[in-house]
Amino acid sequence: MARPVTLFTGQFADVPLKELAPMAADWGYDGLELACWGDHFDVEAAVNDPKYADSQRKILSDAGLEIYAISNHLAGQLVCDPNNDSRSDGFAPASCAGDAEAKRAWAVETMKKTAKAAANLGVDVVNGFTGSSIWHLLYSFPPVTEEMIEDGFKYFADMWNPIFDVFDECKVKFALEVHPTEIAFDIVTAERALDAVDYREAFGFNFDPSHLHWQLVDPVRFIDEFFDRIYHVHMKDAIITADGKSGILSSHLNFGQPGRGWDFRSLGRGEIDFEAIIRALNFIDYNGPLSVEWEDAAMDRAFGAAEACEFVKSIDFPKSDRVFDEAFSD
């Protein structure tokens, strides 16, 4: 049986869920991965009002859709991010704006509540970000010591272990989307993040090949390395467009702007080998959803979301239960 194909609603957060759900069903999706912003899923309401989670689930079921995961990237980012400029002010309540530690304290409590909200909704995976206190140290000048990097991973563990305790209590797992600006952004740092929290089961990964591809990290190798930690899968394409003028650091050019060294593409229009990814997921017996995180700054999003759903369904296939030449034996 093919895996369910879902749509991550983060890029459609401006569309009310009651409108988006039937649209997604018309596009061919089997379910939604609800973002914890816009009106798609309110963490506070889901914790405090037993009827709220049921009402959101009913919006999906009325459209013939299922739910397998929720995502709270924005609050998660604030847990370890320096939070020292205005870019993240909109991620937290207005009362926290301009106050790095107020944003952090709100985020820690919100991520704990997100585990409880997920349990109330009946899902066992929360996707999101962790933030990183050391991302700005990526290029080692002024010189960066190993102690500074080690302190960053220790800070991640100190901040997130109490959150993971609540995830354990709720029987919910947190799946970090390995991504630049997070504590884990490639295979090496993902391994180091796991080690920092003693490989506790509550912490794993939301596999998204697009963020690996443009860094020249092999997405299939990521699956192979973390076969028991792939808790959720995002489907998103990317392309390296470096032309000798701009490289993969992208020259402060925004997504979709001509001259960038790389960009996201609607599924099937980039460079990622999704057949190899499906084969790798089959090998590790991943049977969860394939969730489209649609991003392509040069394409209409409704057209792209529909096209992406069709693409994923066309390239997914179930794992064989035999070797083909076994048919020749008696």
Tens digits of residue pLDDT in 12-38:
999 999 999 999 999 999 999 999 999
pLDDT of residue 1: 56
Indicate if the pLDDT at residue 324 is higher than 70: no
Convert the pLDDT of each residue in 219-277 to its tens digit: 999 999 999 999 999 999 999 999 999 999 999 999 999 999 999 999 999 999 999 99
Query: Per mean pLDDT, which range of 137-151, 180-194, 315-329 is the poorest?
Result: 315-329
Give the global pTM. 0.96
Q: Determine the Cα–Cα distance for residues 143 and 148; give it in Å rounded to an integer.
A: 10
Q: Does residue 239 contact residue 299 with C-beta atoms inside 8 Å?
A: no
SS3 82: coil
Q: In this structure, which topology does domain 5-328 adopt according to CATH?
A: TIM Barrel (3.20.20)
Query: Is-contact 3 290, C-beta < 8 A?
Result: yes
